Amino acid sequence: MQTIKAAVCHSFDSALRIEEITIAPPGPREVEVTLDAVAICHSDISFADGAWGGPLPAVYGHEAAGRISALGSGVEGVSVGDDVIVTLIRACGHCPSCASGKPVNCTTPYDGLTGPLFTVAGEPVFQAMACGAFAEKVVVSSRQIVAIPSDMPKDVAALISCGVITGIGGAVNAANLRAGEDVVVIGAGGVGLNAIQGARIAGARRIVAVDMSAEKLEIAKEFGATHGVLANAPKPWRSAAAALGGKGAEVVLITVGAVAAYDQAPRYLGPGGRAVMIGMPHSGETAQYEPVVMAALGQGLKGSKMGDVVIQRDVPWIIDLYQQGRLKLDELISGRWSLSQINEAIADTRSGSARRNVILLNR
């Protein structure tokens, strides 16, 4: 067992505590990664707020990059010293979902309480989202990592692990966006900006960003949005339709977990259009829509977890786009913080102005 520093949640809706915990060595087909960077995702904040429950104490964080520092038995294709990103997608590789090319929907359960994290007194610490990356090191399945170029900045690479693949994958994989289609993206935060980039890369004709902030709408245009609509304006779907030439969108990407966004999303659709549900509302929250309208117009709703990605296929493609200058990643980082500043970074993320705040573990 090694002793490491981590940001631990002891009670929901409270500040995380920086303290020492212990981490077990990697078991069969597992790797230990010494982290350089971990980004703060709104899902981490929702978990820490108690939105989805879960055991405590817990270590959150799932958008990380670092270097392999130890290998368990049976690991192939990577070596100690390799630079990697770490994702929460812990796929067994053999269940029906994995076998059908949907590893994000792996049905093999993982209990984070039986994972590698413990208090210094030997009590289990919950490894949230199969990562627990608000820490100096993680031990994860070798299927959760993807090798990255050694010269790629780790703070930038960390973003790919969740926000980037979720947004781009939502547009490309889940929505099956075709060239020439019109798109509405609800939410211009970290995931929303990547959904906009995914729509642009897929060849969308027009991309309308919808957000509560005029400033964020201007930023969205830098990432590929052709128009911006304020979500708190009267009947914003009408403004979106005007921007789309008097018609509804073929695709609506809902990238925020606000119920109001889900209530309004179908109104942005044209006949035959499809809405992709990406943002994660809190458990127990419900949205309302008129099913007869959607049925009569042949519209659809579809959920998308982590952009329906296959990380070994999609991450190298995304890295290539970045290296070619066709994908903005550096511009997604709003601030860089130390682990000791994680509560301040979370507060800044809550403000809604941040794109992505990154914790640098070697600062």
pLDDT of 362: 81
Q: How many angstroms separate the CA atoms of 132 and 125, rounded? A: 9
Mean pLDDT of all residues in 153-159: 98
The residue written with tokens 């995931």 in the block is 191
How far apart (Å, rounded) are the C-alpha atoms in residues 171 and 165?
10
pLDDT band at 216 (very low <50, low <70, confident <90, very high): very high
Reference 41, options 311, 330, 358, 285; nearest CA is 358
Mean pLDDT along residues 66-88: 97
Model confidence pLDDT, tens digit, residues 10-26: 999 999 999 999 999 99
| Residue 56, both tokens | 């405590």
The number of C-alpha atoms within 13 Å of 362 and in the hemisphere containing its C-beta is 9
- Name all domains of the chain by residue range, CATH numbers in brackets: 2-162+308-360 (3.90.180.10), 176-303 (3.40.50.720)
- Quote the percentage of the chain above a pLDDT of 90: 96
Mean pLDDT for the chain overall: 96
Q: What is the pLDDT of residue 36?
A: 98
d(CA 114, CA 167): 31
Query: What does the pLDDT read at residue 219?
Result: 96
pLDDT category at 352 given cuts 50, 70, 90 is confident
223-247, pLDDT tens digit by residue? 999 999 999 999 999 999 999 999 9
What is the pairing mode between strands 30-39 and 356-360?
antiparallel
* C-alpha to C-alpha distance for 185 and 310, rounded to whole angstroms: 23
- Please report the pLDDT score of residue 55 as a whole number: 96
pLDDT of residue 353: 77
Query: Residue 56 pLDDT more than 80?
Result: yes
* d(C-alpha 178, C-alpha 168), whole Å: 13
pTM: 0.95
Angstrom distance (rounded) from CA 332 to CA 357: 9
